[in-house]
Structure 1
Amino acid sequence: MRQLLAAILGVFTFATTAMAQDSALKALDNGVDAAAWEAVGRLDIGGTGFCTGTLIAPRLVLTAAHCLFDRETKARIDHGEVQFLAGWRNGRAGAYRDIRRAVVHPDYVYDGEVSSGRVRNDLALLELSRPIRNTTIRPFGTAARPRPGDSVGVVSYARDRAEAPSLQEVCKVLAQQEGVLVTSCAVDFGSSGAPIFSIVAGEAHIVSVVSAKAEVEGTQVSLGTALGAPLALLQAELVAGKGVFLDSNPAGKRIRVGEERGTGAKFIRP
């Protein structure tokens, strides 16, 4: 993490200027504003919290690997208790899907600490129980990682905006190091797994996934993994039949939206 923070500090003068140009968060709480972003959804994790995920194919959701681990026990969460709520907004989703199979980057190690190695491999693919084929929910493509100084945007759910996603249309890439993307995008608890977008030929493409947040001299920055090779590896794992399949219908043990378990919800750290 020391090298990563050194990289952030090295661009801090630039970052201050860049973040002055960042746009504010805009709540996508109506159908008109949210229409282009319906493939971004909330991942509800068995009553313990939520992350953000994005449809990249009719049956595949991209998110952060650490969303599938318990922060306290550090054990892998049963993905049978995870549900994808595409376009979740004000109590309704465009589609509800259970998770049939999940693959985590094979080099990812969840130890509770934020490090460049953990962020670099913090990627997971979720195979849905059934594909989402809906003309209003269109999967996003991916693009090559942006360069420092490029404009990007992020769509995410978070602790204080759990019932509708928010869009930050313009934030900046501050640095890249060892497969880690440092941006000025605003993230908070629940934003883990949120897609970071760039606009290519007039269309939004995913270039990174939110993994963590950091602070430099009181200024918040976000950290994400570059896609490229890590995503290609996960797709190959799925094609090879890897990942954990559900052995039975988990409906009987699922905590549904709006319900709580134990002492209540815990929010997943970005």
Structure 2
Amino acid sequence: MNKFIRKQPLTFFVSAILGITTVIIGTSVKAQIDPNPEQISTPKFTNAENADKFKLPADGKPFKPNGLNQLNKLPKTRVIIGTDDRIPMTSRKYPWSAIGRVAGISASGGEYHCTGTLIAENLVLTNSHCVIDPNTNKLSHKIWFQPNVINREVLDIADVATVKEVIYGTDFTGQNQDKNDWAVMLIDRPLGRKYGYLGLKNLPTSAFVWMRQQLFFVGYSGDFPDPRKPAYRRFTAGPGWTAGVQQGCSIVGEEEETLLHDCDTTAGASGGPIIAIIDNNPYIVALHNAGEQSSEGKGIVNFAVKISSIQEALKGN
């Protein structure tokens, strides 16, 4: 029987190392889509408890722009739970268009990346540990959002958005850190009008019994896709510059107010949405934030923030 070791957030320090590596791989073949850090101001950070003026979208419904086609099913192709079921996300159709790469510079000056999803015209959902260092409790110095990045390319370089403000669920100094490992970022342009945005759906844990192997997960993992492998040679920008998507994963339970899931993830996928298609509409039903490994380093289970934790924290605002 595998021995469980400590649960640990997939912090941006691992992603930072991977991010620097992939920049070196991709610079010669792709246009620069990272903004000049000197032209970006440090975002305002506000604890959710003090975000009196901040409001989530009232109805929590998704939005698909007119003229943007929708693709709910993917071609069947083959911390990782069992076999690796990720495939590269190469679609610019909705809802995949609304998912992007959160990149930034930490307080210590290191570059890193996570995953984020548009949930309104100018709001992006990700993890707290993608904007705050859980080990030092220091805030990120610069943050930006690159929508629907595929092989280090965006649809329009002008759509790379700067983060102006961050509402975070935890700064990792108190209790219930995993439960509150979420952040909503206010960006400087209404990308949701062009790329669409996903809805938020709070479902009871018991409801996921009827959704076994029906959920999607998308994340910009730092180990995927690897162009050294024959199937991924065309992804010349390297790992972390094309999202991996898994169709058919599950939420398998709940522990200490945190959901357990079996979607395939590694560092960089933090902040990635777990998506359910309900009445042909895409909803985020959980937010991936951490994984647990055996003493041999093999993935056992992954963890996700409940949507109710986000909504309850902001309901009084």
Q: Same fold (TM over 0.5)?
A: yes
Structure 1 residue 208 corresponds to structure 2 residue 267:
no
Return closer, same or farther for 1:71/1:219 CA change in 2, 3 Å cut-off.
closer
**Higher strand residue share:** 1
Question: 2:165 and 2:315 mapped to 1: Cα distance?
Answer: 12
* Runs of 4+ displaced beyond 6 Å: none
Pair 1:23–1:90, CA change in 2 (3 A): closer
Determine whether 1:167 maps to 2:230. no
Question: Unaligned 5+ residue runs, structure 2?
Answer: 8-80, 225-239
Q: Within 5 A, what are the aligned runs for 1:232-251?
A: 232-234=312-314, 237=317
**Which range moved further: 124-133 or 211-220?**
211-220
Distance in 2, matches of 1:36 and 1:172, equals: 19
Distance 1:133 1:110, change over 3 A: closer
TM-score for the superposition, normalised by structure 1: 0.70
Structure 1 counterpart of 2:172, one-letter code? Y
What do you get for the CA RMSD once the two structures are aligned?
Answer: 2.7
CA contact (8 A) 1:103 1:234 kept: no
User: Counterparts in 2 of 1:1-270, with a 5 A limit?
Assistant: 24-31=85-92, 35-46=94-105, 48-70=111-133, 73-78=136-141, 81-94=142-155, 95-105=159-169, 108-110=170-172, 117-135=176-194, 137-145=195-203, 146-147=205-206, 148-149=208-209, 150-151=211-212, 152-161=215-224, 162-215=240-293, 218-234=298-314, 237=317
Q: 1:228 is matched by which residue type in structure 2?
A: S
Asked whether the 8 Å contact 1:116–1:178 carries over to 2, the reply is: no
Give the fraction of aligned pairs with identical amino acids, expressed as a percent. 22
The separation in 2 between residues aligned to 1:176 and 1:133, in whole angstroms, is 31
Secondary structure of 2:241's match? strand
1:189 aligned counterpart, secondary structure = coil
State the Cα distance separating 1:35 from its structure 2 match. 4.7
Matched AA of 2:301: V
Does the 8 Å contact 1:182/1:223 carry over to 2?
Answer: yes
Aligned residues: 211
SS in 2 for 1:49: strand
Post-superposition shift, 1:173? 1.3
CA positional deviation for 1:229: 4.1
User: Which residue of 1 is the match for residue 76 of structure 2?
Assistant: none
Kindly provide the amino acid, as one letter, of the partner of residue 92 in structure 1.
E
TM-score by length of 2: 0.60
The gaps in structure 1 that reach 5 residues or longer are 6-18, 238-270
1:195 Cα offset (Å): 0.4
Q: In the aligned structure 2, how far is the partner of 1:109 from the partner of 1:203?
A: 33
Pair 121,176 (structure 1): closer, same or farther in 2 beyond 3 Å: same
> How far apart, in 2, do the equivalents of 1:116 and 1:201 lie?
37
Alpha carbons 1:125, 1:234 under 8 Å: kept: no
Cα drift, residue 166 of structure 1 = 1.3
Name the CA shift for 1:142/1:117 in 2 (closer, same or farther; >3 Å): same
